[in-house]
Structure 1
Amino acid sequence: MADEILFTNIAASDNMADLDVMNGHEVPLTDLQQLEPSCLLIFIIAGKVVMNIFIFGARHRNVTASFLGYFCISLAAMDFALLLVIASIHYFQDFSVVGVRFTSYHICLFTQIVSHTYGILHFPVLLASGLDYYLTIVKSIKISWICSGLVYTVSVLLLWMMAFIYVLQSHVKNPAVESYDSAYLCTFYISRQSFYLSAALVFTLFSVLAVCCWEIVSFIKSLKVVSYANSTVVLFSFPSGDQWPIQGQKRFLASLLFSFLGTWGPFVVLQVIIFALCAHIPAYMDMNVPWLYFMNSFLIAVCLALKYPDLPVTEKTFSTDPFIGWKYCALPFMDADLNKGISLLPSAVTIV
């Protein structure tokens, strides 16, 4: 019994009063029952590591460095480190390192620490990423790749250090649960930050959809799917008589929305389902690489919208997103004489 951890069902409302400092709450992983948590956690974290590998393999190779790109790499490394630690503890069961004894209890402890750390990083990471894109896209500030790489690396390391220090120094009171000893409760942190961010994103998308509904209907009516250079290209035609560059804030927003939903549409649907079901996702799963790249594309789209109609951006700017070719959204709205250096390569979504 000493090496087993009891997962217990606790209502979220019972925890909120004592956990406001963490901007979230803790809920159990399963209903009231005795479980062996090691295998379950190893299976979940291993699945997350495999998902990270798949996402990194699917992204475009020639991508401009960004803060969020560096943080995604560090997050994947942290996930792998957590998997390695809990798998080692599960395998050796009870052992000592430099006089420190490790048992199955530490599998839950380490996962809780990482979960709390992930849960408080959503706002800081996306604020830093938004500032990064605002300076590089909207303000067009240029710095060398050596300086940018150094700044991003130091910023990511400092962010992780401050988050871990905050979590280790914060006191989170475990709720009392009937007759069970709190030492055997394994609760996992549920972040409110990701919920608020996802809600804001979905609300923004539906707002843009409502504002640009007529432009979107026109685009859908003109939709054509062709094959070019062994790639599938989606074409949208503008009404005859329009001259280059195409004008119109709503048209530009509609083109951004099409490209975003063309890549991340299933992820948007998943966010809506999670809201509808009020699903509680532990923070060690809620903070993941696909979700960060999803928010990355959203931040880039916002910055491009802020930059319009002054859009003489470079190829380097358009290669910031590893999943969406934003230049095919912007090219019809850009002065052709000022952007001759931007290459036209086929992509999954093209607007002409």
Structure 2
Amino acid sequence: MHISIPSILMALGVKCLLNWVMVVSQKKGNVCRGFMGVFGVSLALVDTVLTLSLTALHVQANGVLLGVHFTRHHVCLLSQLAGQIYGVLQWPVGVLGFLDCYVTLRGQGTSTTTTARLQRVAPVPATTLLWCSALIYLFLLSDFYPVLGEEHPYQVHRCWVFLSSQVLHVGAVIVLAVACALVYSHKAHRRTVSPFKPWLPSPGESLTETERRALSRRDVVQQALTTLLATWTWFLVALAALLLLLPVGIPGYLSLNVPWLCFLNSVLTAVVLSASCPASRVAGGLAAFPLDSFCDWRLGCATGT
């Protein structure tokens, strides 16, 4: 669809502001501690450079720099390139974020000094490799072809913007997962209070290993879901509304942003905690996750005793 250049610049400016607000609002020491934090900072920097560059090109349209004659067509070209790169990065960022959450949580309390140091350093090369891979894919492997329109190069004031559906696909998976977790938690609660099928043993009886694991799993899922919804309910509601109102996608240059990464990091943390607890418990029966600055993931894992 066609969007005016001032609208593109305004949207990117608001996006940059939100990016840096989310980066600055994170707890000290957590910003660049994990992959999502490092990638979020790099995304904020890329968006800032992109916005300043597009603004300069728009203001200095028909100018010459280093022998290159820049026009407003270059604004359209860069915005389309950015949208394509952000769309390519959606699923890889989610996969790497999940792996980072899983490795960090499983290694709590047991990792050596060398392993902990490696976990702190690894996100930087992983982020660099991811950006480079996206660029290589876009320019050498994809079938992307820019659409610059038929207008005269000195009179173009609107850009054709590609829509990105990847973020909506990821959002749909997240909304479905949260809904399934709510159903599971509700059914588990009904089994707990049901007079026909008591969940806890009667006096003198003991729980089997399977029952203890089921109790612990139910408690962790309920606590993780409660913690996630306490912080991100408004974001989930907005995401669900976006899925209904914009089923075809959103402008590509807006599809990847730091608020989305922070929300995705919390969702992945909840998934990893629910899947790996109680095996990943640290001392005291608490599952604390240090890479999320917005949710307090100190969950008490029941033992069933």
**Is TM > 0.5 for Structure 1 vs Structure 2?**
yes
Aligned equivalent of 1:83, options 51, 68, 71? 51
Alignment of 1:307-318 (within 5 A): 307-313=276-282, 318=289
CA distance, structure 1, for counterparts of residue 217 and residue 126 of structure 2: 35
Find the counterpart in structure 1 of residue 8 from structure 2. Answer: 41
When normalised by structure 1's length, the TM-score is 0.69
C-alpha contact (below 8 Å) 2:288/2:296 kept by paired residues: no
Instruction: Report the CA distance between 1:189 and its aligned residue.
Output: 2.6
Per-residue CA deviation, residues 50-78 of structure 1 (Å, 9 max, x unaligned), is 11122123222242711111100100001
Find the counterpart in structure 1 of residue 269 from structure 2. Answer: 300
Find the counterpart in structure 2 of residue 193 from structure 1. Answer: 166
Find the counterpart in structure 2 of residue 225 from structure 1. Answer: none
CA distance, structure 1, for counterparts of residue 56 and residue 163 of structure 2: 26
Count of aligned positions: 274
C-alpha contact (below 8 Å) 1:119/1:190 kept by paired residues: no
Identity of aligned residues (%): 26
Highest RCO, 1 vs 2 (Cα 8 Å, sep ≥ 6): 2
C-alpha contact (below 8 Å) 1:137/1:313 kept by paired residues: no
Aligned equivalent of 2:144, options 172, 182, 185? 172
Instruction: Report the CA distance between 1:190 and its aligned residue.
Output: 2.3
Find the counterpart in structure 2 of residue 251 from structure 1. Answer: 219
Alignment of 1:111-122 (within 5 A): 111-122=79-90
**Cα RMSD (Å):** 3.1
Aligned equivalent of 1:267, options 235, 238, 242? 235
C-alpha contact (below 8 Å) 1:318/1:326 kept by paired residues: yes
Per-residue CA deviation, residues 277-322 of structure 1 (Å, 9 max, x unaligned), is 2343112111111111111011111111122222433799522111
Name whichever of 188-197 and 306-315 sits farther off: 306-315
Instruction: Report the CA distance between 1:144 and its aligned residue.
Output: 5.0
Find the counterpart in structure 2 of residue 7 from structure 1. Answer: none
CA distance, structure 2, for counterparts of residue 156 and residue 202 of structure 1: 27
CA distance, structure 1, for counterparts of residue 277 and residue 179 of structure 2: 20
CA distance, structure 1, for counterparts of residue 271 and residue 15 of structure 2: 28
User: Residue 186 of structure 1 aligns to a residue in which SS?
Assistant: strand
Q: 1:254 to 1:158 in 2, by over 3 A?
A: same
User: Residue 300 of structure 2 aligns to a residue in which SS?
Assistant: helix
Instruction: Report the CA distance between 1:181 and its aligned residue.
Output: 5.9
Aligned equivalent of 2:260, options 260, 277, 291? 291
Instruction: Report the CA distance between 1:187 and its aligned residue.
Output: 2.3
Q: 1:326 to 1:281 in 2, by over 3 A?
A: same
Aligned equivalent of 1:162, options 133, 141, 145? 133
CA distance, structure 1, for counterparts of residue 147 and residue 15 of structure 2: 29
List gaps (5 residues or longer) in structure 2. Answer: 192-202, 204-213
List gaps (5 residues or longer) in structure 1. Answer: 1-27, 219-240, 336-352
CA distance, structure 2, for counterparts of residue 216 and residue 260 of structure 1: 18
